[in-house]
Amino acid sequence: MHKQRIAFIGTGIMGEPMARNLLRAGHPVTVHSRTKARAQALLEEGARWADTPRDAAHACDVVITCVTDTPDVQAVLLGPGGVIEAAREGLICVDMSTISPSETRKMGETLAEQGVILLDAPVSGGQIGAIEAKLSIMMGGPAETVENVRPIMDTLGRTVTHCGPLGFGQTTKLANQVMVIHTIMSVAEGLAFAEKAGLDLETTLKVTTAGAAGSHSLKVLGPKVAAGDLKPAFMVDLQQKDLRLVLEYAEQIGQPLPGTALVKQLFAVLQAQGRGRDGTHALIDVLRQLAGRRP
């Protein structure tokens, strides 16, 4: 069976294991990142290197981007040396970053003028989900193109969902982030309350994860809080980027999100303390400080 040739641009915390899973599935993979050293392990495992996104896209069927923010995607796709310089009819770009839905649609229109189809496909599941190919992938774009790349997406994730036209994948991801940060807030507040009241956190977790309060965040992050382990499953800085996107888009569509705005301000306290690379569950330290305790 023919394996589609893939250009993978962005080999960071998420991109590297995703590209590795594609290699292991037998796809010819060409990689590009801002720093070649970040891709060295993939090169040793059989990936090819390209000096620019244009070069990566030139001999591939599908281009996948997984970079940090909207300007990064714009530079990769439309900037000097970008994918658009290798544009041709039938080339498919799949952006798996988390970026602005409205800017995604604009980039799609620009690429479409050159015959290139853009899909948005942000993911949820974090680094572990990327490593284990268990990501939830939220896709936007033409249904027939989504089906064209579904075998690739199935290599990367456990759940692949077509959410609607271009931009709807990003919009779904932003809705996901709103819900996620509220569960993190509930975990932080509940455990801060339990701790202040003198409860044993491990016992509290055992009870609450088995009841109506149970959630993925409580199950995964609660034990980390109890153990004093604030290493990131997802960094505060990256969460703040996502929440900025949420609030910008919410303003565009006229939807107030007061709770989300509050949590963003609380995360800003951690950033002001130089803790932007801590995990999002470090939010409990802000609540401890509000109660007059030293974290």
Q: What is the pLDDT of residues 186-216, one digit of tens each?
A: 999 999 999 999 999 999 999 999 999 999 9
> For residue 173, what are its two tokens?
């991801």
* 135-148 pLDDT per residue, tens: 999 999 999 999 99
CATH number of 51's domain: 3.40.50.720
DSSP state of 61: S
Among residues 148, 165, 182, which one ends one of the domains?
Answer: 165
Taking the model in full, what pTM does it have?
Answer: 0.93
> What band does 109 get if pLDDT is binned at 50, 70 and 90?
very high
Q: What is the pLDDT of residue 295?
A: 64
Share of the chain above pLDDT 70, in %: 99
Q: Collect all residues with Cβ–Cβ distance below 8 Å to 15 and sequence separation of at least 6.
A: 8, 9, 33, 66, 67
CATH number of 184's domain: 1.10.1040.10
Query: Is 173 known to be catalytic?
Result: yes
Q: Among residues 3, 36, 134, 173, which one is catalytic?
A: 173
Same domain membership, residue 250 and residue 160? no
